[in-house]
Amino acid sequence: MKILLIRHARAEPRARRTDDSARALTRRGTQRQLECAAGLRGLGCAPELVLHSPWLRAAQTAALLARDGEPVEPHAGLARAPDERLCEELLARGARELWCVGHNPWLAELACLLCGLPREGAAALELKKSGVLWLAGDGRTGEFTVRALLGPRLLRRMPPPG
């Protein structure tokens, strides 16, 4: 099983919104996310399912990542600190390749849980906006490994698919 944990793209500053969950992507964030999505496709990544935090910037990022026909669904667990229950819910989806779009530090903490590492280790995983943590495993919590930590600059430089 492959899980890609993807941080949302660049969003408008917090000062413009009193409700953090309502912050939208910037034009630059949108453009760069499209370039990162092409880079992921160039690596041969293709999700069976894209889950995202219900917060606006994550939903917008997920929409930019998905192609026609790939299911995209909100998941409230991606908008809070992760726990074992979230891991179980994600793994129960049974997708061979699952993409989860959310927020840091929660995505890094989720990676730690899935890999069986202490949550404190999340601080070492610098997940930039539009960055990707690529995990692989047999579908059991605690037994995943980090295959790659891909920054947006690298993703944007990847050759397009085809």
CATH of residue 53's domain is: 3.40.50.1240
String of DSSP letters for 49-113: EEEE-SSHHHHHHHHHHPPTT--EEE-GGGGS---HHHHHHHHHT--SEEEEEE-TTHHHHHHHH
Spatial separation of the C-alpha atoms in residues 151 and 81, rounded to whole Å: 22
The number of distinct structural domains making up the chain is: 1
**Per-residue CA distances from 51 to 55, 96, 150, 158, 160 (Å):** 12, 14, 19, 24, 23
Give pTM, 2 decimals: 0.95
Residue 116 DSSP label: T
What integer pLDDT is reported at residue 46 of this predicted model? 95
Q: Looking at the domain assignment, is residue 57 inside a domain?
A: yes
Give per-residue pLDDT as tens, 1-16.
999 999 999 999 987 6
Counting residues of the chain whose pLDDT is more than 70, the rounded percentage is 98
Q: Looking at the domain assignment, is residue 94 inside a domain?
A: yes
Q: Which two tokens stand for residue 150?
A: 């891909």
Q: Looking at the domain assignment, is residue 162 inside a domain?
A: no
- Could you tell me the residue range of the domain that residue 93 belongs to? 2-157
* Element at 135 (helix H, strand E): strand 132-136
Q: Looking at the domain assignment, is residue 30 inside a domain?
A: yes
Q: Looking at the domain assignment, is residue 150 inside a domain?
A: yes
